[in-house]
Amino acid sequence: MSFQRLGLRAELTEAVSAKGYTEPTPIQAKAIPSILEGRDLLGGSQTGTGKTAAFTLPLLQRLADSEARFHQQSDRPRRRLRHPRALVLTPTRELAAQVGDSVAVYGEGLALRSTVIFGGVGINPQIKRLREGVDILVATPGRLLDHAEQGTIDLSRIEILVLDEADRMLDMGFIHDIRRVLKLLPERRQNLLFSATYSDEIKRLADGLLHDPVSVEVARRNTAAETVEQVVHPVAKARKRALLSHLVREGDWHQVLVFTRTKHGANRLAKQLDQDGITASAIHGNKSQNARTRALADFKSGKIRVLVATDVASRGIDISRLPHVVNYELPNVPEDYVHRIGRTGRAGEEGKAHALVSADEKGLLRDIEKLLKRSIPKKEIDGFGFQSGDEAEPVKPARGGQKRGGRNRSRSRRGGGGGGGGENRGQGEGGGSRPGQAKRRTGNSGYSGDGAGAGGGSSANRRPRRRGGRGRRPSGSPQS
Ligand code: AMP
């Protein structure tokens, strides 16, 4: 199967060849023809499957085609109206930037303009860019609404809407912002929704948004990318850092993405690894956008060996052939494990996901295995197994994490400036208090009907302290 056979125009097939892609990935092969036909689409796809190109390529083509039709039908000189005609919403700045890059790269041969809009950076350059006119807008919801309120954006001519990583947007509490954005769009448009997991909330969103959608699924629901080899290393909590250094050294790993639960923990671990002689940086929501971009660039170029990240910051990190992902601490939400390990083994490459699991995390591991519907192989590393006494260690609430309820996002106060560094409220970096979590535990289909026997109740009993925060719903909206 070639890209030409999918019906893509030459400018686009040339762009993908230049990227070195020889054939479409399964999601591209399935989604591109339907999107080209103008159908709505529900894409069940994890990151790493090539989903960005799956929607970007046909989106570019449809915009280029309608532009060409306009010129054929009109003798008038070209009007440079340039109101955005396609909108891609993403949960994080990193993902927005990455999708923006893809739009620019794939669309290089087309006369279409695009821009990326997110918070944490000055709004004025964005306003200037919008005034100059764009065809494709890639944005995080909060900053987009800031522009809408200030009247610096007109979304009334959007022809194609993409919700990328919609499950993550809902997890992060963006549902109200999404609904606000939808009200600014014209009724008639093409809608594409991509999500790696399907909660009831996602189904509701999809039902309200999509008209007679084509459903495309390339990985089984809630399963980890199949190319990723997973392994659990049981380890005493106090020995985790030593084990990580050992694995990096002994395995001669040169590019490792490590996940911690908290921003504070990410900073501390990066510092300690550096002291151990292993170059490392941390990336999380408290870092400035520049610091995040720099850390990522250093990691990509090989200047640093280890990138320590929290869940939100990692979203959108796209490094081809990332060989190792380490769960230094297991996430509180099992689906996050799937997202994390999706950072490796991308687009058919082999990858390995290691989880360093201490005795107090056994319950979290059980939840993850239940979601995956299989057990993850365990491999104890000599000298680093569980130690007696570790078993009894209680789960400590995560420190240095998010502020519950987040920043007051009263619209009137938010307009204007850079908007601070935090990209959202529900970062999951503070010990399981994400807004989506309450729903996940009570209503997520990932937990029901899996036949695993132990229901959510037993897991509740295992970790009573974490459940204390779940009922809370933050006020206001997240930031982006
Ligand atoms: P995504 O799932 O969109 O995050 O893409 C994951 C990775 O796959 C990115 O690094 C893309 O550059 C790469 N990729 C996308 N399409 C293809 C393809 N057809 N062949 C090889 N790599 C691809």
**Ligand 1, atom 5, residue with closest C-alpha:** 50
What does the pLDDT look like over 404-452, one tens digit per residue?
A: 333 333 333 333 333 333 333 333 333 333 333 333 332 232 222 222 2
The H-assigned helical ranges of 49-172 are 51-73, 93-106, 124-132, 141-150, 166-171
Q: In what order do the strands lie in the sheet with 256-259?
A: 228-234, 351-357, 324-327, 256-259, 306-309, 280-283
Residue 17 confidence (pLDDT):
93
Decide if 427 is inside a domain.
no
Q: How many CA atoms lie within 13 A of 127 on its CB side?
A: 15
Q: At what angle do helices 200-209 and 435-443 cross, to 10 degrees?
A: 100
307 CA → ligand 1 middle, Å: 21
Residue 200 confidence (pLDDT):
84
Among 5, 6, 12, 21, residue to substitute to test ligand 1 (most atoms within 8 Å of Cβ) = 21
Among 5, 13, 19, 341, residue to substitute to test ligand 1 (most atoms within 8 Å of Cβ) = 19
Decide if 288 is inside a domain.
yes
Q: What is the DSSP string of 274-289?
A: HHTT--EEEE-TTS-H
Residue 319 confidence (pLDDT):
64
In the predicted model, is pLDDT for residue 389 greater than 70? no
Distance (Å, whole) CA 270 – CA 303: 14
Distance (Å, whole) CA 118 – CA 234: 40
**Ligand 1, atom 21, residue with closest C-alpha:** 21
Q: Is the pTM of this model over 0.95?
A: no
327 CA → ligand 1 middle, Å: 23
Tracing tokens 């850092």 back to the chain, one arrives at 241
Domain count, the chain: 1
Residue 414, both tokens: 């938010």
298 contact partners, CB below 8 Å, separation of at least 6: 281, 304
Determine the average pLDDT of the residues in 376-400. Answer: 61
Residue 69, both tokens: 């039709």
Decide if 353 is inside a domain.
yes
- Residue among 356, 345, 296 nearest 322 (CA): 345
Q: What are phi and psi of 154, to 5 degrees?
A: -125, 115
Among 194, 227, 320, residue to substitute to test ligand 1 (most atoms within 8 Å of Cβ) = 320
Do 54 and 25 form a contact (C-beta atoms < 8 A)?
yes
Ligand 1 — pocket residues by CB below 6 A? 21, 24-25, 28, 47-53, 318, 320, 346-347
Do 425 and 435 form a contact (C-beta atoms < 8 A)?
yes
What does the pLDDT look like over 29-69, one tens digit per residue?
A: 999 999 999 999 999 877 778 899 999 999 999 999 987 77
Query: Alpha carbon of 188 to those of 41, 90, 211, 443: distances in Å?
Result: 15, 21, 10, 32
50 CA → ligand 1 middle, Å: 4
Looking at the chain, the whole-number percentage of residues with pLDDT higher than 70 is 72
24 CA → ligand 1 middle, Å: 9
Among 6, 25, 57, residue to substitute to test ligand 1 (most atoms within 8 Å of Cβ) = 25
What does the pLDDT look like over 238-252, one tens digit per residue?
A: 999 999 999 999 999
36 CA → ligand 1 middle, Å: 19
Atom of ligand 1 nearest to the CA of 24: 19
* End-to-end CA, the chain: 39
Residue 315 confidence (pLDDT):
64
In the predicted model, is pLDDT for residue 397 greater than 50? no
Name the E strands within 120-264: 136-139, 160-163, 190-195, 214-217, 228-234, 256-259
CATH number of the domain within which 366 lies? 3.40.50.300
Atom of ligand 1 nearest to the CA of 347: 8
Decide if 210 is inside a domain.
no
Do 475 and 234 form a contact (C-beta atoms < 8 A)?
no
449 contact partners, CB below 8 Å, separation of at least 6: none
290 contact partners, CB below 8 Å, separation of at least 6: none
3-state secondary structure of 321: coil
105 CA → ligand 1 middle, Å: 13
Q: How many CA atoms lie within 13 A of 2 on its CB side?
A: 8
Do 354 and 243 form a contact (C-beta atoms < 8 A)?
no
Decide if 181 is inside a domain.
no
> In terms of residue numbers, what domain contains 364?
228-372
Atom of ligand 1 nearest to the CA of 52: 3
319 CA → ligand 1 middle, Å: 10
In the predicted model, is pLDDT for residue 314 greater than 50? yes
Residue 120 confidence (pLDDT):
87
What does the pLDDT look like over 91-101, one tens digit per residue?
A: 988 899 999 99
**Ligand 1, atom 11, residue with closest C-alpha:** 50
Looking at the chain, the whole-number percentage of residues with pLDDT higher than 90 is 50
Distance (Å, whole) CA 219 – CA 342: 11
* Averaged pLDDT of the chain: 78
320 CA → ligand 1 middle, Å: 8
Decide if 297 is inside a domain.
yes
Decide if 250 is inside a domain.
yes
When mean pLDDT is compared across 58-67, 312-321, 338-347, the lowest value belongs to 312-321
Per-residue buried b or exposed e for 21-45, using 16+ beta carbons within 10 Å of the residue's own CB: beebbbbbbbbbbbbbeebbbbbbb
Decide if 27 is inside a domain.
no
When mean pLDDT is compared across 252-256, 257-261, 419-423, the lowest value belongs to 419-423
Among 314, 346, 349, 350, residue to substitute to test ligand 1 (most atoms within 8 Å of Cβ) = 346
